[in-house]
Amino acid sequence: MALPKPNKTLTLSESSYIVEVLKGMALTMSHVIKNLLNQDFRTIEYPDERKPMTARYRGAHRLLLRPDGGIKCVACMCCPTVCPANCITIVAGENPDDPAEKFPVSFDIDMLRCIYCGFCVEACPKDAIRMDTKIYEINAYNRQDMVHSKAYMVNLMDGLKPEAGAAYHVDKNLAPAGYTAEAPVRP
């Protein structure tokens, strides 16, 4: 399909671009001079010094635990349903102590696809997932490490990082009380 032609006819100075380029350079230089004269202008010596992020900054996800140590998430599937990037993968299992209760056997977020919209946090009825870590160094040497697993997201604030490949494996330590990885995971 052909693109519509612009209605506006460019003047001679606009069509030569010289004046427009000079105007752009003048604007850039005005910002440079303003910042040089500004006493508050400073360089943040990252990574020795970190920029303080606002309370509403959406950083890496973390999963929260209940006071008894079990994971708060009840695998209701609200967050993968609402996620516009379709990057949350949850495998739900039944809690043997309470068949009416579910929990995530695995909970993975592909951070290469996440767009940090925060919809998962907003949709969660259990306040089980938050993006309040203020962690913005979300990187890895391979694609697999960019999939944040349940164990990674639970331990994130402790600075623990499970080895790659932990995703899609049952994490015994984070299961509800009474759950064993050997027990069959019922749909």
Q: Quick one: which of 60, 105, 128, 174 contacts ligand SF4 (CB under 6 A)?
A: 128
Q: Is 118 in the site for ligand SF4 (CB under 6 A)?
A: yes
Least Å distance between CB 120 and ligand SF4? 3
Q: Mark 61-100 with x for binding to ligand SF4 (rule: CB under 6 A) and - for no binding.
A: ------------xxxxxxx---xxx-xx-x----------
Nearer to ligand SF4, 128 or 166 (CB): 128
Give the DSSP letter string of the chain. -PPPPPSPPPPHHHHH-HHHHHHHHHHHHHHHHHHHH-TT-----TTTS-PPPPTT---S-EE-B-TTSSBS-----HHHHH-TT--EEEEEEEETTEEEEEEEEEEEEETTT-----HHHHH-TT--EE-TT-------SSTGGGEE-HHHHHHGGGT--PPTT-TTS--GGGSPTT--TTS----
Nearer to ligand SF4, 4 or 99 (CB): 99
- Return residues touching ligand SF4 (CB under 6 A): 73-79, 83-85, 87-88, 90, 109, 114-120, 123-124, 126, 128-129
